[in-house]
Amino acid sequence: MRPWERVAVVGVPGTGKTSLCTAVSKNSKYQHVNYGMVMLEIAHSRDLATTLPEMFSLDLTIQHDIWKKAALQIKDQKNILLDLHGLDHFREGYLISLPFKIIKPDIIIIIESAYEDIIQRIRADPLKKRIIQGQNRLHEHVKTLRFAMVSASACLGCNLIILNNHDFETCLKELESILVNKSDIFLCK
């Protein structure tokens, strides 16, 4: 079987997806593409924002334009680990941030973690200045992300798997195994 060409690694902020993607890309053929950073580069080139919080405070119409330009910039890349939230929470509600109509992943991997682990990671990384959600709101976000990604997976006919990042090394090995042993994957773990 041919290898996965586009792997979408999604999860709520603080699940460890960026750390996992960075680690996997060091020892594989996959390039780690952080969607938020691609968006920030576009926003910065237009003199709209220099930080992620600045960019995410822009009007949603402007953010959508940046989001779409980022997707169009990435869409033809192969052998990528596309690192993004998959679903973002705004004052207005939830928006699917996986541009699945432009970038068609071969597999969507949802990274999940326990609430306490997420809070610990957020506090350990003050540079990202993330908002700490309450446990009930985070549970709702995770549940809504699952529904959104199952729907995207069904629309695309692509595979979907959920990995629990309760232990980084174990989750890293599971992620590497998924990328190498494609034939062992099953739909919706």
pLDDT, residue 116, reads 87
Query: How much is the pLDDT for 142?
Result: 93
Planar angle of CA 163, 66, 69, nearest 5 degrees: 85
Domain 6-33+83-184, architecture per CATH: 3-Layer(aba) Sandwich (3.40)
Query: What is the predicted pLDDT for the residue at 91?
Result: 78
For the whole model, what pTM was predicted? 0.89
In the chain (189 residues long), the average pLDDT of successive 10-residue segments reads: 84 94 93 97 97 90 96 96 93 90 96 89 67 78 96 95 96 92 49
pLDDT, position 135: 83
Q: Please report, for the chain, the start and end positions of each structural domain, with discontinuous segments joined by +.
A: 6-33+83-184
Residue 105's closest CA among 128, 129, 83?
A: 83
Q: Cα–Cα distance between 102 and 74 in angstroms, integer?
A: 9
Q: Which residues of 63-100 are buried (b: 16+ CB within 10 A; e: fewer)?
A: bebbbebbbebbeeeeebbbbbbbbbbeeeeeebbbbb
pLDDT at 183 (0 to 100): 47
- Sequence-separated (6 or more) residues with CB below 8 Å from residue 181: none
